[in-house]
Amino acid sequence: MTAPLGVGVLGAGPVTQAIHLPTLARLRDKFRVVSIMDVDKSVANSVAARAGATATTSEDEVLDDPAVDVVAICSPHQFHAAQVEAACAAGKRGILCEKPFAVSRAEATQIASVAGSASVALVVGAMHAYDPAWLNARAKCGELIETAHTIRSTIVLPFNDRFEDWATEVAGRPTPGPRPDTTDPAVRAAMISGMVMGVTIHDLPLIRPFAPRLERVDFADFIAPFGGVISLTASGRYIDLVTYMRPLWRPEWTLDIWGEDCSAHVEFTPSYVHAGSGTAVVRRDGREVHLGPWPSNGYEAEWAELYDQVAGGAAPRYALIDLIDDLTYATDLAEQAAAWLLQGDRA
């Protein structure tokens, strides 16, 4: 039996604590966490102790550790590109990088070039792209690639801390900053851009194959305390994106794709929830096919994808060009939504 791959983690915040460590604990036959880095020494020590790993505040110590085969990059996104390149230069065999893995197409292309040249497996942590409910729904109605006319993503969630606290006891949660002045058009534009890159981005890799050419944003508006509505046209198809986070229960995370004779409705579990996959309903000719749930979720599947590439030499489900195009789609949408909002507020 192949020995588990050693994992080094850069950034030990809530995503590491409440998502990746519980997931890796369920995949002990494939991975073992050996090193955890965080700039906050007390957080690094606390989180590493839970995983039986070495704690450090030095990125170099993680990358120089010969026991580290693969690296999980869970730092703030402005550090992702440099850390992906550093992991490749250090000779690591695989990388799981939280989204977004870059902040521009040029940066994404550079990262992909480095990873490709070094033959390093690169998986971007977009868990819904690996969720069995989505993969099976797409397989059941492949004709939607040609016939879809309308797409809607609905993400209505309580704030993350509720789910984080259910998943684990979070050490060193960042202190919230001052409440932004959402009457300021520039603040509203910045927040809707942040919403796209932080939350809406989860579903964009699923939407892009059906509507790959982003033509224009037709409407955008910010919703306090954090959310927004964006309507756009892409490849001649109409897309509505509703993203809204609020203190109240109840969560709803759905993706709907309608075509001439077929439609797909997928219900995802919220982020940080470790309770199996989403579910889906595919409708065709007046009949419904119900899919799922499966016992494993997208978090486990993305890590299993990395393992299969590194340990088994499997071809990636999503090629490097797909990762670049997904990132470009998200950044272009964020920029256009912010610009539309600024124009609308000034009108």
In order, the DSSP letters of 209-239 are GGS-SEEEEEEEEE-SSEEEEEEEEETTEEE
Mean pLDDT over 325-337 rounds to: 96
Amino acid 160: pLDDT = 81
Find the DSSP H helices in 16-125. Answer: 21-25, 41-51, 59-64, 80-89, 105-117
Amino acid 1: pLDDT = 54
> How many other CB atoms are there within 10 angstroms of residue 233's CB atom?
15
Q: What are the chain's domains? A: 5-125+301-315 (3.40.50.720), 129-297+328-346 (3.30.360.10)
Mean pLDDT over 306-335 rounds to: 96
Of 243, 228, 233, which is closest to residue 187 (Cα–Cα)? 228
- d(C-alpha 139, C-alpha 128), whole Å: 15
Q: State the chain's mean pLDDT as an integer.
A: 93
Question: Helices 185-198 and 320-346, interaxial angle, to 10°?
Answer: 160
Amino acid 347: pLDDT = 45
Mean pLDDT over 201-225 rounds to: 96
Q: How confident is the model at residue 258 (pLDDT cuts 50, 70, 90)?
A: very high
Q: Which has more pLDDT, 158 or 57?
A: 57
Residue 317, Cβ density class (10 Å: 0-12 exposed, 13-18 middle, ≥19 buried): middle
Quick one: tokens of 294?
Answer: 């499966």
Model confidence over 15-65: pLDDT tens digits? Answer: 999 999 999 999 999 999 999 999 999 999 999 999 999 999 999 999 999
Q: Which residue has the tokens 């033959």?
A: 119
Contact 84, 101 (CB under 8 A): yes
Model confidence over 95-151: pLDDT tens digits? Answer: 999 998 888 899 999 988 999 999 999 999 999 999 999 999 999 988 999 999 999
Contact 157, 339 (CB under 8 A): no
